[in-house]
Amino acid sequence: MISETMENAVNEQINKEMYSAYLYLSMSSYFESINLKGFANWMYVQYQEEVEHAMKFYEHLKNRGGKLKLFAINEPPSEWKSPLDVFQATLKHEQFITKSINELVDIAESEKDRAAYNMLQWFIDEQVEEEANDEEIIAQLEMVEESRNGLLMLDRELAKRGAAAD
């Protein structure tokens, strides 16, 4: 049985993961609008992953006898200044999610909820990967600066990303 404190925190995390999905779908749409289909693909895969993350939390909640509570999802932005601006916003958002996961770990530790603690280890590893991916793309965007050729090469590279199997 999951504690009320942990149940509430997991429900809040589900909302954050669904907001992440909305954000990345909005970013994908932005990239479509400026004809960067590879970037759009990368963000669409991000969107799919975030929905999967929300569902992992839901399954944990359900399996532990918790009750799902769905909150309203905030509207994400829909315009950015540049691809670099998008990825800087992405990194900032992932850092926010990392902080939130760490806070869940703190709750699991204080509640002595070993099942939640164990489940959250996967998310800790996932967040390291998420931030590293964003930092790598930011570095590449900074390298190409205003080069349209460089941007198109990076777009082609990001087009290769497929949905990850968890």
pLDDT, one tens digit per residue, over 72-94 is 999 999 999 999 999 999 999 99
pLDDT at res. 118? 98
What CATH number corresponds to the domain at position 105?
Answer: 1.20.1260.10
CB–CB of 151/44 below 8 Å?
no
Domain housing 153: 4-159
Give Cβ neighbours of residue 83 (< 8 Å, ≥ 6 apart).
Answer: 31, 36, 39, 141, 151
Domain count, the chain: 1
pLDDT tens digits along 115-162:
999 999 999 999 999 999 999 999 999 999 889 999 999 999 999 998
Residues above pLDDT 70, as percent of the chain: 98
The pTM is what?
A: 0.94
Assess if residue 29 is contained within a domain.
yes
Residue 108, CA distances (Å) to 59, 65, 133 in order: 17, 16, 27
Average pLDDT, the chain: 96
